[in-house]
Amino acid sequence: MKSLCILGRQPAISLAELESRYGAGAVTPIKQDIALVDRQPDISQLGGTQKIARLYAVTTQKSWKDIEHYLKETLPTQLADMPDKKLHLGISVYGINVSLGQLQKTTFALKRTLKQHGHSIRIVPNKSLALSSAQVLHNHFTDDNGAEIVLAQGKDGQLYIGKTTAVQDIDSYTARDQKRPKRDAKVGMLPPKLAQIIINLAERREQKQVKGSAYEQAPISLTVLDPFCGTGVILQEALLMGFTAYGSDIEKRMIEYTEANLAWLAHSLDLKNLKYTTVTADATTHEWELPFDTIACEAYLGRPFSASPDEKTLNKVMQDVDTIHRKFLKNVARQTEPGFRMCIAVPCWIINEKKHHLKTLDKLEGLGYTRQSFVHAENQDLIYHREGQIVGRELLVLTRNYKS
């Protein structure tokens, strides 16, 4: 079974996540924002994939007329097994030269064809060439009576056709982000999706595949440490992904916030067996008492900026933040074995389109680490950033290379 993964706003980050989770060989980017994966991933465990469609055909149809003809011929067979004959149908198009008007005409033509095969069809009209995650979710396209057909033109010129099987639960993400009782704009608001990506980059599952098993579920014994846990978003997402969570932060108030947020999580989702521990501790010196298998964190980002700082202010902030990161990495190196892998989101200041990286990035080898690279993504593209934001988050995947 092969799946088309429709990637998020920053496709390189989504690709790195898929590669880390399933291995480079399992992932084939077919165009900039779509990848083919050799299985059906669990979308609830991925922060960077918006939709997943089961691939059912790869063809060479060139013109839109040919594509319409092909769909009229094949869709009745593809949908013959749908248990409910009352269907709602939608079409999403990626990278194909077609107008919205033409697409709508085709959708209605397909409705007529499917009617002749005994289906009763409700069309969900496109506002753009691709239906949004919200449209797919709220129109229940992944239910028994929903069919969203995904058409994507690959960079190899082939047409990839799939039927959507899963979509990101944007309502759940919003609740996990905004309904937490304790939030703090000053420490930053890490989106839960990005927290999932950081965890997936930290924990390379592919290495741990047991023969014959897909190893989708993290065993409960694996512990994720977040030494800069703040309000606890990474710990929350690690728990939801099946890990044991271990959090520390230099500020007692943050630990209280994390505790309140995780208690809310357990209560609101009625989760009885969440395993987590928290401690107030300075990440640059603390010796963590409990064993941990990986570190996933958004480290100290320095003060937030709403406008570009002058050079002197920027240099001072960069230096302060750099010292904390350097000491933190030294501290972790003392407590981990060669091969230990982790992912930390560190600040990258973007001013007038120029990127100012943390200086520590040039000293990783000396600190006992190697920055990992990816087959399907360049490290320079792994900076999570929104238009106009001054402090982006650079995603660093590090492994320990020797005992220091």
Ligand X SMILES: C[S@@+](CC[C@H](N)C(=O)[O-])C[C@H]1O[C@@H](n2cnc3c(N)ncnc32)[C@H](O)[C@@H]1O
- Which H or E run contains 5? strand 3-7
Residue 282 makes contact with ligand X by CB under 6 A: yes
- For ligand X, the closer CB: 91 or 235: 235
State in angstroms the smallest separation of the CB of 255 from ligand X.
9
Taking CB under 6 A as the binding criterion, the range among 21-29, 38-46, 77-85, 225-233 that sits at the site for ligand X is: 225-233
- For ligand X, the closer CB: 130 or 233: 233
| Contact characters 73-102, ligand X, x per CB under 6 A | ------------------------------
Residue 68 makes contact with ligand X by CB under 6 A: no
Residue 284 makes contact with ligand X by CB under 6 A: yes
DSSP state of 158: P
- Which one of 105, 111, 113, 188 is in contact with ligand X (CB under 6 A)? 188
Residue 66 makes contact with ligand X by CB under 6 A: no
- Which one of 29, 41, 48, 230 is in contact with ligand X (CB under 6 A)? 230
Residue 232 makes contact with ligand X by CB under 6 A: yes
- For ligand X, the closer CB: 78 or 335: 335
Residue 302 makes contact with ligand X by CB under 6 A: no
Residue 191 makes contact with ligand X by CB under 6 A: no
Residue 250 makes contact with ligand X by CB under 6 A: yes
State in angstroms the smallest separation of the CB of 284 from ligand X.
5
State in angstroms the smallest separation of the CB of 384 from ligand X.
12
Query: What is d(CA 107, CA 123) in angstroms, rounded to the nearest whole number?
Result: 7
Rg of the Cα atoms in the chain: 23
State in angstroms the smallest separation of the CB of 298 from ligand X.
4
SS (H, E, C) the chain: CCEEEEECCCHHHHHHHHHHHHCHHHEEEEECCEEEECCCCCHHHCCCEEEEEEEEEEECCCCHHHHHHHHHHHHHHHCCCCCCCEEEEEEEEECCCCCHHHHHHHHHHHHHHHHHCCCEEEECCCCCCCCCHHHHHHCCCCCCCEEEEEEEECCCCCEEEEEEEEECCHHHHHHHHHCCCCCCCCCCCCCHHHHHHHHHHHCCHHHHCCCCCCCCCCCCCCEEEECCCCCCHHHHHHHHCCCEEEEEECCHHHHHHHHHHHHHHHHHCCCCCCCEEEEECCCCCCCCCCCCCEEEEECCCCCCCCCCCCHHHHHHHHHHHHHHHHHHHHHHHHHCCCCCEEEEEEEEEEECCEEECCHHHHHHHHHCEEECCCCCCCHHHCEECCCCCCEEEEEEEEEECCCC
Separation in Å, CA 19 to CA 16, 201, 329: 5, 9, 25
Q: Which two tokens stand for residue 279?
A: 């401690």
- For ligand X, the closer CB: 186 or 211: 186
State in angstroms the smallest separation of the CB of 194 from ligand X.
9
State in angstroms the smallest separation of the CB of 392 from ligand X.
13
Residue 301 makes contact with ligand X by CB under 6 A: yes
- Which one of 190, 333, 377, 383 is in contact with ligand X (CB under 6 A)? 190
- Which one of 3, 106, 231, 331 is in contact with ligand X (CB under 6 A)? 231
Residue 12 makes contact with ligand X by CB under 6 A: no
| Contact characters 324-353, ligand X, x per CB under 6 A | x-----------------------------
Residue 192 makes contact with ligand X by CB under 6 A: no
Taking CB under 6 A as the binding criterion, the range among 11-19, 49-57, 222-230, 334-342 that sits at the site for ligand X is: 222-230
Q: Catalog residues that contact ligand X under the rule CB under 6 A.
A: 187-188, 190, 227-228, 230-234, 249-251, 254, 282-284, 298, 300-301, 324
